[in-house]
C-alpha cells in the first residue's frame, strides 16, 4: 500500500476521507470530468448522506471508494483515505481484501443483486468463508444468525430458500445481512430503498440504521431523496453536476439551506399540513434540466437554472465558503 | 416442468445405447473379435445371428453391441474434454476481456475455419490410429462452439447485479467465475455438449471409416461400415446394422439436446403448451 498506516482500526482520524476527488470520463478523444473537486469526511459510526439528481456523480463517487470504476470512467486525481490508508492507488488484490470485509455496499435492486441459483443462506455464509476463513458448517450457523438479525422470520427455513422465493423487502434484508456479515467499518448504501414499496422502505432504513449503530458501522447513504437522507444521516452533502455544492449538518440543511439548488430541492418537497396552513398552492419546481456532461456551463454549473444568477456566476467557479458547524457552500450569493 | 416428447425419445435412445455399451459382455452372443468362422461368412439375419454375419463370419449383433463401447467412450470422453477446454477459454475470455479475449476469439475463429474432421485427421496421422489418439484428436478439435457460448454467456452475466455485487463483496475473479457465472450458464453449455456429442460420435465413425480410428479387428461402428462397403450390394445387413446404430444414437443425442434446450431456455422455443 502506498500510504503508511497512520491510525489503526478504532483510531481517532476520520474513517473515510475523500480529498479533491476527480473522476475522468473518457469520450471520443476528449476527457470530461464527471466528478471534480469532491471532498468529504465520514467519521467512525457516522451516517453521511450524499444527495443529488440522477447523473450528478454520486454513485460513481461511491464506486471510486470501492475501487470499482470501470472504463470509460477512471480516477483522475485526488486522495481517498480509508482509516489512515491511502487506497486510491491500491492494487486490485489489496482492494479485494477491503471489499466486503471493511467496506461493504448494498444496491438499489435487490431483485438482481442475489445469485438466482444459490440459496440465500449460502450467499451469506460465503462471506464468512471468504473473508474470515470459517468452515462452511460454522458459516451456515452464522448465516442463520445474520438472517435473524435482519429480522427475517423463521431464518432456519429461509436459509435454504432461493432468491426468487423471497419478496423484494426480504431480499434487501438478505443483502443487508450479506453486507454487514463481516462487520465492515463502512457501509455504502446506493439508493437502497428506491425499488421497494414505501411501507417497506421505512422498515429497511430503520433496520439499516439500527444494525449499523449497533455494530459501529459508518454509512455512506446515496439518495436523491433529501428527506430520507436528512432523517437518517448526521451530515448531508448535496451534489450538482459533479461538484459538491453544499454540505451541512442534516438538521441545518433543512433549517438554513444556503445554496439556491438546495433551497429549490427542499421547496419542491411536498409537506404534510402545508395546504391547510397556506392554502392550495403549486409545488415549487427547479426550472430547466441538469446540463449534460458535454455542455457544463462555465462558472457555477447551476447558473442557467438559478433564480439568483448574476454575471459573476457565469464566469467564475465559486469557492467554498464556510458555514457554521463545518458546513460549506459553493455559491457567490449564499445566505 | 414438462418434458417434451423429444426429450423422452432422445433420452431413451441415448439411455439404451449407454445400457448396451455397459452391459456388452453379458448381452453379446459371441466374442466380437475371436469368433470368426469363414464357414458362416455373410449369412443373412437368422435366429442364430440376429443381425447376420460379416465377411469373416463374425456375429454382427455382437460386434454392434461391443462397438457401442467404443463409440460412446469416444463421444462422451472427448466431448467432456471439448466442453472443459471451451468453457474454460470462453468463460475467462468473456470475464476478463482485453487481450486475452482477443486471443481466444482469434483462436476460436481459426478453429472454426479449419474443418474439424480434417484437423482431427491430421492429428490422427501424427499420433497413429488407436483409442487414445482418437480421444485426443476429437477432444481437441470441437471446443469452439462451447467456447463461443461460454464467452457470450459470461459477457451477458457479467453485468448482472449479483455478479457486480460479488465483486463489491470482495470475491476474487475465480470465485466469481466458478460460483457466480458457471452455474448460471450451465444450461446452454449442457445443450451444446449434448449436441456436440452426436457430432463427435459421427466424427469417430468417419475417422474409423477412413481407417484412422479403431484398428480392425476390434469393432467400432465406423470401421464396421468401412469393412462392409465392398459387400453392400450382396450383403446389405453388414452395413445396415452398424449404420442404424450410429443413426439412432446420434438422433437420440440431437433430440435430447433439443429437448434440453426447451427446458433450459423456454423463451427461445415455440413449444406447444
- pLDDT above 50 (res A1): no
DSSP state of B38: G
C-alpha closest to that of B3 among B259, B271, B236, B272: B259
A66 at interface of B, judged by CB pairs closer than 8 A: yes
A chain contacts of residue B160, beta-carbon cutoff 8 Å: 112
The answer to whether A100 contacts B170, with C-beta atoms less than 8 Å apart, is: yes
Q: pLDDT value at position A8?
A: 41
Interface mutation target, options A111, A130, A164, A175, chain B, most CBs of B under 10 Å: A130
B169: nearest CB among A109, A117, A178: A178
Q: How far is B188 from chain A (nearest CA, A)?
A: 15
pLDDT of B267: 59
Per-residue pLDDT for B250 more than 70? yes
- The chain B residue lying nearest A115, using CA atoms, is B162
Buried b (16+ CB within 10 A) or exposed e, B57-95: bbbbbbbbbbbbbbbbbbbbbbbebbbebbbbbbbbbbb
DSSP code, position A236:
E
Position A274 pLDDT exceeds 80: no
B103 touches chain A (CB under 8 A): no
- What's the whole-model pTM score? 0.77
- CA angle at residue B26 from B22 to B30, to 5 degrees? 115
Q: Band of the pLDDT at A236, cuts 50, 70, 90?
A: very high
Report CB contact under 8 Å: A114, B162: yes
Tell me the angle at which helices A168-180 and A136-149 cross, rounded to the nearest 10 degrees: 120
Give the residue-averaged pLDDT of A57-75.
86
For residue B2, what pLDDT is reported?
Answer: 63
Rounded to 5 degrees, φ, ψ at A122 are -65, -35
The minimum CA-CA distance between B100 and chain A, rounded to whole Å, is: 17
Q: Quick one: pLDDT band at residue B97, thresholds 50, 70, 90?
A: confident
- Taking the C-alpha atoms of residue B269 and residue B27, their distance in angstroms, rounded to an integer, is 40
The answer for residues whose C-beta is within 8 angstroms of residue A100's C-beta and 6 or more apart is A127, A130, A131, A179, A181, A182, A184, B168, B169, B170, B171
Characterize the bridge pairing of strands A186-190 and A218-223: parallel
Contact B225, B232 (CB under 8 A): no
> What pLDDT, in 10s, does the model give residues A150-175?
999 999 999 999 998 998 888 989 99
Tell me if chain A has a CB within 8 Å of the CB of B110.
no
**If you average pLDDT over residues A290-300, what whole number do you get?**
86
Question: Among candidates A212, A163, A172, which has minimal Cα distance to A190?
Answer: A172
Distance from CA of B153 to the nearest CA of A (A): 15
Q: Looking at residue B104, what is its pLDDT?
A: 94
What are the backbone angles phi and psi of residue B53, rounded to the nearest 5°? Answer: -130, 160
Least confident of A15-19, A39-43, B28-32, B223-227: B28-32
**What is the pLDDT, as a whole number, of residue B272?**
44
Is it the case that residue A3 has pLDDT exceeding 80?
no
pLDDT mean over B121-125 = 88
| Cα–Cα distances in angstroms (integers) from residue B214 to residues A66, B44, B148, B210, in the given order | 58, 25, 31, 10
The SS3 call for residue A50 is strand
- A259's CB contacts (< 8 A; 6+ apart) are A238, A245, A246, A302, A329, A330, A331, A334
Are residues B198 and B215 in contact, defined by beta-carbon separation less than 8 angstroms?
Answer: no
Q: Say if the Cβ atoms of B167 and A112 lie within 8 Å.
A: no
- pLDDT bin (cut points 50, 70, 90) of residue B238 is confident
When pLDDT is averaged across residues B19-29 and rounded to a whole number, the result is: 83
Residues of chain B in contact with residue A117, where contact means CB-CB under 8 angstroms, are: 183-184
Phi and psi, residue B160, nearest 5°: -65, 150
Position of cell 470520463?
A25
**The three grid cell numbers given for residue B244, joined into one nine-digit string:** 442404424
Question: Which grid cell sits at B90?
Answer: 470462453
Question: Touching check for B98 and chain A: CB below 8 Å?
Answer: no
pLDDT digits (tens, 9 = 90+) for B173-187: 888 998 889 988 888
Closest by CA to B54, choosing from B269, B271, B228, is B228
* Interface contact A144, partner B, CB < 8 A: no
Q: What is the mean pLDDT of chain B?
A: 85
Write phi, then psi, for B181 (nearest 5 degrees): -80, -50
The span from the CA of B180 to the CA of B184, in Å, is 7
Q: Identify the residue whose cell numbers are 433439443.
A: B258
Give A191-212 pLDDT, tens digit per residue: 888 878 888 888 888 899 899 9
Beta-bridge mates of residue A223: A51
In which band, very low, low, confident or very high, does the pLDDT at A11 lie, cut at 50, 70 and 90? Answer: low
Angle in degrees, 0-180, between the axes of helices B182-209 and B131-139, rounded to the nearest 10: 130
Residue B168 has its nearest CB partner, among A99, A112, A130, at A99
How does residue A7 score in pLDDT terms, banded at 50, 70 and 90?
Answer: very low
Confidence of residue B211 (pLDDT cuts 50, 70, 90): confident
The span from the CA of B111 to the CA of A138, in Å, is: 47
- CB spacing of B168 vs A101 below 8 angstroms: no
Cα atoms found within 13 Å of the Cα of residue A14, Cβ hemisphere only: 16
pLDDT at residue A217, as a whole number:
92
Contact at CB, B161 and A127, closer than 8 angstroms: no
User: What residues form DSSP beta bridges with A187?
Assistant: A104, A219
Any B CB within 8 A of A36 CB: no
Beta-bridge partners for A247: A237, A328
CA-nearest of B100, B58, B75 to B21 is B75
Per-residue pLDDT, B268: 55
Mean pLDDT, to the nearest integer, of B16-29?
84
B156 by DSSP, 3-state: which?
Answer: helix
| Predicted interface score ipTM higher than 0.90 | no
Instruction: Please tell me the distance from the alpha carbon of residue A208 to that of residue A230, in angstroms, as a whole number.
Output: 15
Residue B88 has pLDDT above 90, yes or no: yes
8 Å CB contact between A160 and A119: yes
With 80 as the cut, is the pLDDT of residue B217 above it?
no
Give per-residue pLDDT as tens, A86-108. Answer: 888 888 888 888 888 889 988 87
Whether A53 has a pLDDT exceeding 90, the answer reads: no
Amino acid at each position: 500500500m502506498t500510504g503508511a498506516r497512520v491510525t489503526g482500526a478504532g483510531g481517532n482520524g476520520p474513517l473515510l476521507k475523500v480529498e479533491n476527488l476527480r473522476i475522468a470520463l473518457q469520450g471520443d478523444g476528449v476527457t470530461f470530468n464527471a466528478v471534480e473537486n469532491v471532498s468529504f469526511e465520514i467519521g467512525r459510526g457516522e451516517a453521511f448522506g450524499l444527495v443529488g439528481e440522477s447523473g450528478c456523480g454520486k454513485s460513481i463517487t461511491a464506486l471510486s471508494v470501492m475501487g470499482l470504476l470501470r472504463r470509460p470512467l477512471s480516477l483522475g486525481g485526488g486522495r481517498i483515505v480509508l482509516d489512515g490508508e491511502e487506497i486510491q492507488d491500491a492494487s486490485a488484490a489489496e482492494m479485494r481484501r477491503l471489499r466486503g470485509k471493511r467496506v461493504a455496499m448494498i444496491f438499489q435492486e435487490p431483485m438482481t443483486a442475489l445469485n438466482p441459483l444459490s440459496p440465500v443462506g449460502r450467499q451469506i455464509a460465503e462471506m464468512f468463508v471468504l473473508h474470515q476463513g470459517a468452515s462452511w458448517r460454522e458459516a451456515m450457523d452464522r448465516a442463520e444468525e445474520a438472517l435473524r438479525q435482519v429480522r427475517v422470520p423463521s431464518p432456519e427455513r429461509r436459509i435454504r430458500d432461493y432468491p426468487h422465493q423471497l419478496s423484494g423487502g426480504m431480499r434487501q434484508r438478505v443483502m443487508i445481512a450479506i453486507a454487514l456479515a463481516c462487520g465492515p467499518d463502512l457501509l455504502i448504501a446506493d439508493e437502497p430503498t428506491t425499488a421497494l414499496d414505501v411501507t417497506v422502505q421505512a422498515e429497511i432504513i430503520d433496520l439499516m440504521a439500527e444494525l449499523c449503530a449497533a455494530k459501529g458501522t459508518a454509512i455512506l447513504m446515496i439518495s436523491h431523496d433529501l428527506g430520507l437522507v436528512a432523517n437518517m444521516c448526521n451530515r448531508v452533502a448535496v451534489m450538482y453536476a459533479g461538484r459538491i455544492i453544499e454540505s451541512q449538518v442534516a438538521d441545518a440543511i433543512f433549517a438554513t439551506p444556503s445554496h439556491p439548488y438546495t433551497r429549490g430541492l427542499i421547496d419542491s418537497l411536498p409537506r404534510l399540513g402545508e395546504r391547510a396552513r397556506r392554502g392550495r398552492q403549486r409545488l415549487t419546481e427547479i426550472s430547466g434540466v441538469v446540463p449534460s456532461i458535454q455542455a457544463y456551463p462555465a462558472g457555477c454549473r447551476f447558473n442557467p437554472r438559478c433564480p439568483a444568477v448574476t454575471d459573476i456566476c457565469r464566469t467564475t467557479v465559486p469557492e467554498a465558503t464556510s458555514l457554521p458547524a463545518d458546513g460549506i457552500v459553493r455559491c457567490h450569493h449564499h445566505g | 416442468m414438462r418434458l417434451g416428447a423429444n426429450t423422452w425419445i432422445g433420452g431413451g435412445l441415448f439411455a439404451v445405447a449407454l445400457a448396451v455399451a455397459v452391459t456388452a459382455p453379458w448381452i453379446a452372443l459371441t466374442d466380437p473379435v475371436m469368433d470368426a468362422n469363414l464357414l458362416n461368412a455373410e449369412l443373412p439375419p437368422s435366429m442364430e445371428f440376429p443381425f447376420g454375419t460379416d465377411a469373416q463370419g463374425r456375429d454382427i449383433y455382437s460386434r454392434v453391441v461391443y462397438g457401442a463401447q467404443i463409440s460412446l467412450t469416444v463421444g462422451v470422453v472427448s466431448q467432456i474434454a471439448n466442453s472443459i477446454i471451451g468453457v474454460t477459454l470462453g468463460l475467462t475470455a468473456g470475464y476478463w476481456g482485453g487481450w486475452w479475449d482477443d486471443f481466444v476469439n482469434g483462436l476460436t475463429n481459426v478453429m472454426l475455419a479449419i474443418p474439424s474432421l480434417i484437423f482431427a485427421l491430421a492429428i490422427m496421422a501424427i499420433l497413429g490410429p488407436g483409442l487414445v489418439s482418437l480421444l485426443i484428436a476429437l477432444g481437441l478439435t470441437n471446443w469452439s462452439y462451447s467456447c463461443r457460448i461460454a464467452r457470450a454467456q459470461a459477457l451477458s452475466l457479467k453485468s448482472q447485479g449479483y455478479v457486480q455485487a460479488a465483486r463489491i463483496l470482495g470475491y476474487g475473479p475465480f470465485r466469481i467465475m466458478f460460483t457466480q457465472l458457471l452455474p448460471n450458464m450451465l444450461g446452454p453449455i449442457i445443450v451444446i455438449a449434448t449436441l456436440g456429442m452426436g457430432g463427435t460420435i459421427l466424427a469417430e465413425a468417419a475417422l474409423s471409416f477412413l481407417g484412422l480410428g479403431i484398428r480392425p479387428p476390434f469393432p467400432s461402428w465406423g470401421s464396421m461400415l468401412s469393412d462392409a462397403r465392398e459387400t453392400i450390394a450382396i450383403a446389405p445387413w453388414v452395413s445396415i446394422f452398424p449404420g442404424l446404430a450410429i443413426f439412432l444414437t446420434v438422433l437420440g443425442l440431437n433430440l435430447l439436446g433439443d429437448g434440453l434446450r426447451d427446458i433450459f431456455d423456454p423463451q427461445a422455443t415455440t413449444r406447444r403448451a
